[in-house]
Chain A
Amino acid sequence: MTIAAFVAGGGESESDPPPARSAQAAAAAPDGLSVWVANGCGSCHTFSPANSTAPIGPDLMQTLRGKDRAYVERAIVARNTDAAAGYSVGGMPEDFATRISPADMQLLVDFIVEGVRAQ
């Protein structure tokens, strides 16, 4: 299972690698919420700690309950591993592993894991 599955995931993808879009945001405000906001996670996922209610991807408070950090990180960067129930594999953007720096990734994973645990 991954948090990465979308019901309406389209088939388009870029042939060129995207620019480093999150670098600027990470430099401006290095915390987990900022990384979440910079990468548009709340545009697809419902996640109450970020006040996001988007229905495109799974509700992270549900699908990540009881999951550890390694699982969450894998779900972000390995889009084709598995999918949450009711969602198809491969819905996550394919370039998060390169778009999000390792330091930002840790902040993001911490933010998500702690948010799920706090519920």
Chain B
Amino acid sequence: MRRVLGIAVSILAVLVVAPAAFAGGWATVGLSSTPAGTQPGEPWKVNMTVLQHGETPLPGLQPTITIRNGDATKTFAAKPTKETGVYAASVTFPTAGKWTYVVNDGFMSGKAHTFPAVDIGAPAAATGPAATTDDGSGGVSWMWLALGGLAFLLAALILVVRNRRDHGHQPQAA
């Protein structure tokens, strides 16, 4: 009898608690800006508005933003602002490239909010073509060709000089 009562209480507890937790356990996160246009090493200052059910500002949370590019991952903590439910973060992308970023709202389930990947440090225009060409493999090949040509000319010059000297030292006919 006691066992049956225990099971009944457990089922009742699940029925009461689970829906309440499910109904109240999610929040939306709105960002004041996207990191588009941010350069590597520069801070992206963003405010995150966390709203329970998309409506009620949630105070007392510790949201984070995690950025990722391949194996590189960094997490930045956000701090509460004067406005309830709004948290400020300063995010710095260390290098250029395609980065993803995810916000963890810090509310109950700590749900991750995803956003489109962003191209950090995307070139505004084709800048510095000379530098990239010089550093490329094509530049190195031309350098080796030039060195090879120079070595060939030097060898030819040595041969000519030696040939003339040999002719010059030939014993004179008696």
Contacts and interface: CB of A to CB of B under 8 A. Distances in A.
B31 A51 contact: no
Given A21-B49, A93-B54, A43 B32 contact: no
B91 interface: no
Interface in B20-46: 22-34, 36
Interface in A15-52: 18-19, 21-22, 24-25, 28-29, 33-34, 37-44, 49-52
A40 B115 CA distance: 10
Contacts of B113: 40, 42-43, 52, 54
A10 interface: yes
Interface core residue of A13, A18, A40 (most chain B CB under 10 Å): A40
Chain A interface residue number, banded: 35 or more
A44 B22 contact: no
Interface residues of B, number: 32
B31 A43 contact: no
A92 interface: yes
Query: Is chain A's binding surface mostly helix, strand, loop or mixed?
Result: loop
A52 B30 CA distance: 13
Contact of B55 (A8, A18, A22, A37): A18
A29 B116 CA distance: 15
Please provide the 5 A-B residue pairs with the shortest distance between their CB atoms, ordered closest to farther.
A40-B28, A93-B54, A43-B28, A40-B30, A10-B23
Interface of B: 22-34, 36, 47, 49, 51-57, 83, 100, 105, 111, 113-117
